[in-house]
Amino acid sequence: MGETVTTQAVIILLGPPGAGKGTQARMLEERFGLVQLSTGDLLRAAVAAGTPAGLAAKAVMEAGGLVSDEIVLEILEDRMSRPDIRAGVILDGFPRTAGQAQALDRLLSGRGLGVSAAISLEVDDEAMIDRVAGRYACADCGEGYHDTHKRPARAGACDKCGGTAFRRRADDNAETARERLRAYHAETAPLIAHYDKLGVLRTVDAMGSIAAIATALGTIVQRAAA
Ligand code: ADP
Ligand code: ZN
């Protein structure tokens, strides 16, 4: 906390599953007082709560497909209308289709706002499958782990909080990860050109360390939103 942004910043993180959008969004949230808005998290919450939107989304998500623009826009607009987003938002996993990007442009211009920066996290596809298929998290504190790259120091206990329960997303397996990557290339990667045209595209090499990527993103956000 501490650094502030003066305008209502709208930062978009673009990148395939496993690129580190969620990890980086949480770090930017703390550093700049922005609010992370993950449509994946919002949808998983809707599934867990058994709302009509959640019931419609569940099977699509488990198969690695994209939930309909209609449902996604409904939950996003609902979240964007809450007062806590005053300093601005980091959109993580949204927009994911051309229709969603257009809807976002309209929603923002209706509020006299625009996209501050759309940051594309550039990564290697095969590494993403491996990252996503092996990842899981502590059920208590959310600390992330990986079957081969980041195991807890003491087997079965979380390094951060000592918790012994872990959770794995239903869609984090190799087969579904491939389908999600396919959906990313077919539907979402074309948005890179859209934001380039708007003059707000930034790209970051996201194969490096979490800290190095955070530094690069911090500089971009500071310039785009100060
Ligand atoms: P990841 O980016 O790691 O694939 P997310 O948590 O962002 O995971 O999303 C998980 C799933 O939720 C997606 O595979 C998709 O089914 C659904 N989803 C999330 N955001 C959107 C969106 N903006 N439009 C359509 N479907 C979405
Ligand atoms: Zn923990």
What is this structure's pTM?
0.90
Whether 44 has a pLDDT exceeding 50, the answer reads yes
The gap from C-alpha 204 to its chain's centroid, in whole angstroms, comes to: 15
pLDDT of residue 1: 46
Q: Give CA–CA dist 126/196, Å, rounded.
A: 26
Residue 149 pLDDT level (bands cut at 50, 70, 90): confident
Pocket flag, ligand 1, residue 58 (CB < 6 Å): no
DSSP annotation of 66: P
**CA of residue 39 to ligand 1 center, whole Å:** 6
Whether 5 has a pLDDT exceeding 60, the answer reads no
User: Which sequence positions are flagged as catalytic?
Assistant: 21, 96, 135, 168, 180
pLDDT of residue 160: 96
Report which ligand 1 atom has the smallest distance to the Cα of 95: 23
Pocket flag, ligand 1, residue 39 (CB < 6 Å): yes
Question: What's the mean per-residue pLDDT of the chain?
Answer: 93
Contacts of 99 (CB under 8 A, 6+ apart): 69
Pocket flag, ligand 1, residue 135 (CB < 6 Å): no
**CA of residue 38 to ligand 1 center, whole Å:** 8
pLDDT of residue 2: 52
What burial class does residue 72 get, using C-beta atoms within 10 Å of its C-beta: 0-12 exposed, 13-18 middle, 19+ buried?
buried
Beta strands in 39-186 (DSSP E): 88-92, 117-122, 135-138, 144-146, 166-167
Report which ligand 1 atom has the smallest distance to the Cα of 100: 23
Pocket flag, ligand 1, residue 40 (CB < 6 Å): yes
More confident residue, 24 or 226: 24
How does pLDDT run across 154-203, given as a tens digit for each residue? 999 999 999 999 999 999 999 999 999 999 999 999 999 999 999 999 99
What is the residue with the minimal CA distance to atom 18 of ligand 1? Answer: 40
> Mean pLDDT across the stretch 77-81?
91
Pocket flag, ligand 1, residue 43 (CB < 6 Å): yes
DSSP assignment of 116-155, as one string? SEEEEEE--HHHHHHHHHHEEEETTT--EEETTTB--SST
CB atoms within 10 A of CB 143: 16
What burial class does residue 146 get, using C-beta atoms within 10 Å of its C-beta: 0-12 exposed, 13-18 middle, 19+ buried?
middle
Strand bridging mode 135-138 / 144-146: antiparallel
How does pLDDT run across 86-114, given as a tens digit for each residue? 889 999 999 999 999 999 999 999 988 99
